[in-house]
Amino acid sequence: MKLFFWQPWLIPLLPLVGALINGLFGKRFSKSVVASIALFFTGASLLFASVHAYTLLHSGADALETSYGTWIRAGSFAADFGIYLDHLSLVMMLVVTGVGFVIHVYSVAYMEHEGGYYRFFSFLNFFMFFMLTLVLANNYLLLFVGWEGVGLASYLLIGFFFQKDSAANAGKKAFITNRIGDFGFLIALFLLIQHFGTLRFATVFNIASSLPAETTAGLLTAIGLLMLVGACGKSAQIPLYVWLPDAMEGPTPVSALIHAATMVTAGVYMVCRSNAIFSRAPLALLAVAIIGALTSFFAASIGIVQTDIKRVLAYSTVSQLGYMFMAAGVAAYSASIFHLMTHAFFKALLFLGAGSVIHGIGGEQDMRSMGGLRKYMPWTFWTMLIATLAISGIPPFAGFFSKDEILWQAFSSPHGSKIFWAIGIITAFMTSFYMFRLIFLTFTGEYRGAQQDAHSAHADHGHVPHESPWLVLAPLVLLAVLSIIGGWVGGNRFEHFLAPVIQKVQTESPRLQVAESAAIPTSEHGEKTGESKALETSLMSISVLVAFSGLGLAWFFYVKRPELPGKIAAASGGLYKLVLNKYWIDEVYSAVIIGPLVALSRAFLWQIVDQKVVDGSINETATAVRGVSHVVRQQQSGLIRSYAGWIAAGAAVIVAYMVWMGTR
């Protein structure tokens, strides 16, 4: 029997302790104490996660499930407090604690001049707790707790600068948009309870894998689609992606941690975790792939024209999440998680780098006011360049491997199609283009922000852009290293690593296994025939070519002929405006959904239901009570004789009652 304290429940709980200490007492602590507490508990969590990852990998077991008692028991349904540690949650756990710890370190210096230091770290630790609960839960209900918890943490952190209206509104928007998704997810959970009687992963997947694959829409398809709705909300996919760009109102470390590396990938994790269900519901899988492909394409196209450095990264995140969904949608779950991991490294790095840039030039976020920063902040430049090379899919950086794996799977998987591959390639081109546009606009040319800088709100920052302190740069360097080597493990080996999670279910259904192995004799066990090897190589060269052409085009537009983009924008007119205004999606939503909803709420719910029915019933009740009380109050006259009268009458009633009872 292992020591109780050495069990994995401590991993999520450690950040909670940190959050509680900082949240309750942090106001009295000095900044260094607050930071040490937050770092200690996150670091300890990372340490524990590593220890348990090591233990799991060396135990040879596919999964370790530990239950710490029943949480809810209702009839035959029961949900436990349980930890489920397998290779998938292991990857997620290490990404969350690792990137989380690095970003905590970064925040120590980055947030130093902001108010609410202890609040920030308390929320950040709070987020870590829920995110780890989400990835380590052994049943859907506990996952849902984490799911909601990270939503709450996200809301709190987006609205961290709550005095700013835009930040508060962005927080609300994120929260409410997530609610729509959660609604779908919750119904999926209800369906699971109704038909499977449990929410425990192992049981659900066992039952699901005993079912045949659905060819038409059925129960699994319904569950899958509803889960997809939930995932769309959390992972910012069409049509619920609108909150993520606005979420950039939060502090930059938050954008890096929550809205790039971890929380938004929860949807991808959930889809991959539920692969037993999705694999048996081809229609749901198709929907996942279509939504992923569309999102990646649309978000990338919006990203091309954005000028706010964080918003470019936000749309890039949405786009990359679309990639992950597309991968999951073609049943390439391991590729999806692989990309999730590499994306966590380079996108966190990009955000942190952007934070460093914003910090260095005194709070400016518009790329048009940047430029030439390379000589002022070389460390930031080089690390961000590495991240950009990684996200653009240029070998040998991490993004190349995962992206290539996704594109290959989109092309070759039995669930895939050449259309997905084509969209992926176009998106890759656009990604490369807008990322290098960001780099060129920010770091090359001449500095364009001198005039604005004088009006900067940050009085403690000089006019000249400056490099950030080493505490900010160290995380950048660390993440840059990860962005380079993170992909070297390779798609096939990663797939092999995740095989117990993904493959197990498929092989348990003999019929399906036959069907699938007949369809793809190649990629089943990572052994590829010569023909498909050649195909993969040619596809790989296409994607690399596309990445470089994106780079070249960006260089041509923003270094060689900087006047050209404006001309093109003017020439294309309507299209440019459409993209610049994000396809008017926000406006359409507010006209089609929010407007009528507000009108209905005001006219019916407020003025009739609330004022007439709810308030009315309360007021009428109060009036009636007051009327009755007015009569009753008269009886408390203070006259002893009246009281005696009541007693006499009461006694008579009691005597009569007793006689009546006796004679009955």
Partner 1 sequence: MTIPISWYLLLSAFLFACGVMGFLIKRNIITIFMSIELMLNGVNLSFIAFATRFGTLDGHIFVFFVMVVAAAEAAVGLAIIISVYRTRETLNVDRVNLLKL
Partner 2 sequence: MHIFLFLLFGLLCAGGAINLLIQRKPINSALSLIVVMGSLALIYLLLGAEFVAVVQVIIYAGAIMVLFIFVIMLLNAGEEEHTKGSKVAKIIGIPGLITGFIIGVSVLLQHGPQEKRIHIGELYGSASDVGMMLFTKYLLAFELTSVLVLIAIMGAVVLARRSHSS
How distant, in Å, are the alpha carbons of 105, 166, 217, 251, 467 from that of 471? 7, 29, 53, 17, 11
Is there binding between residue 650 and partner 1 (CB under 8 A)? no
Contact stretch for partner 2 (CB under 8 A) within 395-403, 452-460, 554-562, 631-639? 631-639
Residue with smaller CB distance to partner 1, 485 or 655: 655
Q: Residue 619 binds which entry of partner 1, partner 2, none, with Cβ cut-offs from 5 to 8 Å by kind?
A: none
Q: How far is the CB of 186 from partner 2 (least distance, A)?
A: 59
Sites for partner 2 among residues 638-657 (CB under 8 A): 639, 641-642, 644-653, 655-656
Query: Given candidates 644, 656, 658, 659, which one binds partner 1 under the rule CB under 8 A?
Result: 644
Q: How far is the CB of 647 from partner 1 (least distance, A)?
A: 9
Q: How far is the CB of 622 from partner 2 (least distance, A)?
A: 27
Sites for partner 2 among residues 542-581 (CB under 8 A): none
Is there binding between residue 622 and partner 2 (CB under 8 A)? no
Query: Given candidates 215, 581, 617, 637, which one binds partner 2 under the rule CB under 8 A?
Result: 637
Pairwise CA distance, residues 67 & 9, whole Å: 9
Q: How far is the CB of 633 from partner 2 (least distance, A)?
A: 13
Pairwise CA distance, residues 311 & 74, whole Å: 46
Pairwise CA distance, residues 242 & 237, whole Å: 8
Is there binding between residue 72 and partner 2 (CB under 8 A)? no
Is there binding between residue 632 and partner 2 (CB under 8 A)? no
How do 77-86 and 63-74 pair as beta strands? antiparallel
Pairwise CA distance, residues 97 & 82, whole Å: 19
Give the number of other Cβ atoms within 10 Å of residue 615's Cβ.
Answer: 11
Q: 363: phi > 0 → left, psi -120 to 50 → alpha, else beta; which?
A: left
Q: Residue 652 binds which entry of partner 1, partner 2, none, with Cβ cut-offs from 5 to 8 Å by kind?
A: partner 2
DSSP-assigned letters across all residues of 114-168:
SS-HHHHHHHHHHHHHHHHHHHHBSBHHHHHHHHHHHHHHHHHHHTTSTTSHHHH
Sites for partner 2 among residues 17-36 (CB under 8 A): none
Closest Cα partner for 270 from 140, 83, 415, 151?
A: 140
Residue with smaller CB distance to partner 2, 591 or 639: 639
# residues contacting partner 2 (CB under 8 A):
18
Q: Residue 655 binds which entry of partner 2, partner 1, none, with Cβ cut-offs from 5 to 8 Å by kind?
A: partner 2
Pairwise CA distance, residues 642 & 371, whole Å: 92
Residue with smaller CB distance to partner 2, 488 or 657: 657
Q: Residue 61 binds which entry of partner 2, partner 1, none, with Cβ cut-offs from 5 to 8 Å by kind?
A: none
Site string for partner 1, 620-639 (x = CB under 8 A): ----------------xxxx
Residue 129: what residue type? F
Q: Residue 636 binds which entry of partner 2, partner 1, none, with Cβ cut-offs from 5 to 8 Å by kind?
A: partner 1
Q: How far is the CB of 640 from partner 1 (least distance, A)?
A: 5
Give the number of other Cβ atoms within 10 Å of residue 316's Cβ.
Answer: 27
Instruction: Note the residue count of the chain.
Output: 664
Q: How far is the CB of 634 from partner 1 (least distance, A)?
A: 10
Closest Cα partner for 131 from 239, 328, 270?
A: 270
Q: How far is the CB of 123 from partner 1 (least distance, A)?
A: 50
# residues contacting partner 1 (CB under 8 A):
10
Pairwise CA distance, residues 529 & 542, whole Å: 20
How distant, in Å, are the alpha carbons of 94, 377, 506, 532 from that of 499? 18, 43, 10, 21
Pairwise CA distance, residues 603 & 44, whole Å: 54
Residue with smaller CB distance to partner 1, 621 or 637: 637
Pairwise CA distance, residues 145 & 134, whole Å: 7
Residue with smaller CB distance to partner 2, 537 or 642: 642
Is there binding between residue 511 and partner 1 (CB under 8 A)? no
Q: Residue 632 binds which entry of partner 1, partner 2, none, with Cβ cut-offs from 5 to 8 Å by kind?
A: none
239 DSSP β-pair partners: none
Residue with smaller CB distance to partner 2, 592 or 658: 658
Report the Cα–Cα distance between both ends of the chain, in Å, rounded: 69
Site string for partner 2, 579-618 (x = CB under 8 A): ----------------------------------------
Structural element, H or E, at residue 78 = strand 77-86
Structural element, H or E, at residue 474 = helix 470-485
Enumerate binding residues for partner 1 (CB under 8 A). Answer: 636-641, 643-645, 648
Enumerate binding residues for partner 2 (CB under 8 A). Answer: 635, 637, 639, 641-642, 644-653, 655-656, 659
